[in-house]
Structure 1
Amino acid sequence: MVTKTCEKDLDNVIDEMVDAVEKSRDEIFNISEDARMEHEQLLRELEVTKEKVQLYIEKGDQLERNVQFSKQRLSEVNKYFDRYSEDQIREVYESTHALQTQLATLRTEEKNLRLKRDELERRLVSLSHTIEKAQGLGAKVSVVLQHLNEDFRKVNDLIIEAQEKEEFGLKIIEAQEEERRKISREIHDGPAQMLANILLRSEIVDRTFRSGYPEEALKEIKSVRKMIRSSLYEVRRIIYDLRPMALDDLGLVPTLRKYLNTTMDYSDVEIEFSVLGQESRLNPKYEVAFFRLTQEAVQNAIKHAEPTLIKVRLEMNNKFLNVTVQDDGKGFDPEQKRDKSFGLIGMKERVEMLDGTLTINSRIGRGTTIHIHVPYE
């Protein structure tokens, strides 16, 4: 009787999961459709804008010819001033001035249209990426939904004890939500902010160059190039974060050493890594947790502290595991509330799941030390 009740409870959990995934799939589809419709609208707007730009160019060229002709006439009037009446002279001057004013206005409008065209093209590229990602994610969600509807229905035949069945369903939901939170934090703190900054700086480059300051524009381009390189590193890091294969094959210490060496190559920060105790394989759950905790602490230091040196120390024995990440960066006030500090929140959550403690010591101008202690047998 208890088994049947637990089986029914697990079926309810699976039904709720299927319903949640179906809703997620529908939301992704709606996002994709909205992006596609906006993409089509922007395409039409871009075509109209391009036609206007071409029209303004043609009008501007014609006006420039008219201005040149009027200037020649004005030059003739100035040269043979005594041959013309006062009204004729005034007419030539006013006509030339009016043409020049009209040409300046037209060129300004043409410049604004060019800026609008460039912005539309950037938005179209961004929307294309969004549509592509949404379609790819929708396909993956469909696969997950298929597994939920087919494979997970067989779980009741494999799990006998009611307690095990309940934990299985709950752990699936917990893992799914945790992964969503992690990816959201990673993208929010990394590429999303960097790409927004790159877009802003690229507009500054465009305006600076058009304003006739090529040297300043070149400086901005170098800055943008540096941000792009940093953004590329962030994307590669997020991909690596999903699951480093070396962690399964070699264990925690070699994987951490390789990761820190790679990070040091990509950044201008020196990283020192030391291990206390015997280097041995750990329970996979602890290896993954400590790898990602160290990874998050190092990345936070590089992104926010502007350090020149980061020291990472890992201590392993048969009773506990410790990791300490210390930097000589600008530090911060731990008592001050930091908005959207998803990195530290994620670290605290992961440490609490292991029944451990996380301690942060930091002072402005004196660097930051993060110490993590987890019981382990």
Structure 2
Amino acid sequence: MRNRKTGDKALDFIINEMVDTVTNSKDEIFQIGEESRSEFENLNKELNDIKQQVISLIDEGDKLEQKVRFSRMRLSEVSKQFQQYSEEEIREVYEQTHGLQMDLSMKREKEKQLRKRRDDIELRLRNLDETIERAEALAGKISVVLDYLTEDFQHVTAALEDAKEKQEFGLQIIEAQEEERRRLSREIHDGPAQMLANVMLRSDLVERTFREKGVAEAKKEMKSVRSMVRSALYEVRRIIYDLRPMALDDLGIVPTLKKYLNTVGDYNDLEISFTSFGEERRFESKYEVALFRLIQEAVQNAVKHAQASHIQVKIEMKPAQTMIIVKDDGKGFDPSAKRDKSFGLVGMRERVDMLDGELSIDSSPGEGTIVTIKIPINS
């Protein structure tokens, strides 16, 4: 048991570590996507500004280029007729032309740099757009993985718990079978076997009484022997009834339940009411045995554990379904709480599952218990 608990803790630790790691990875990817989106917006804004600047520079450059052309033509004219112009006028035309050429050259260089920056930004934007798409897709896949880890692994854990519960239930069934054999052995030994041994002794006494005291005294002893045989027969029938009620095969589920519940009520000094709805009919033996055992287990739980003073048992036979309700006014319990050695309820669930039925337990501390069972049985 200790090794099993250690294994459970190790599995829970591994699953929790995986969930934490995947959650952190999802957060990091989300952060990368947000940072990329923010950079994309900033670069896109810068790209629009650069495009406006390039348009403005092209327009200014074209105008400046036209001025340079006129200035060079003026300079050529002055150079050809330099005798008509003073040295100062020639220098002024030359410097003006040179200045315009320098301004044009600087604007063209700036335009070139802006164009290069524009191309770089456009490439960066394409890469960022792909990064954002991959981040979003990866985040979506991680969300699926995270859902699988947090939900499906819970189902795996629940399945493992159910498997372990069934294993424990199987072991407890074996233990219960051995305990039942010991109980039957004690009952037969202390009851019918002891009585039959007494019958043997009294039969010898009858023979001796007949020889020594006559027929009248022998008859008295015979009456006593018959009483002992009757008691032994009653005990044998009671043991057989506990193992499997013979009335179940002969009379069916409803008469057998009435007799059984009356016996349990009288023996335990409590009130058990039984009500049958629908058309009373016979089922296959396996269904009648299953229904009887389910009601027997629910009633025994109410008697032994719930400390109930009143138990209501209802059975409703519909064309395609039989429903059982066992209600008590006992101390109740929390159905969600795990209880040790609660293989009675586990056994009921197993039996209901084998019949493709439904079992529900409505209970809370101090409020009694209602057990509802639905078994699909066709007419």
Do Structure 1 and Structure 2 share a fold, with TM-score over 0.5? no
| Structure of larger gyration radius | 2
Higher relative contact order, structure no. (Cα contacts within 8 Å, ≥ 6 residues apart): 1
**Shorter-normalised TM range:** 0.3 to 0.5
TM-score (norm 1): 0.42
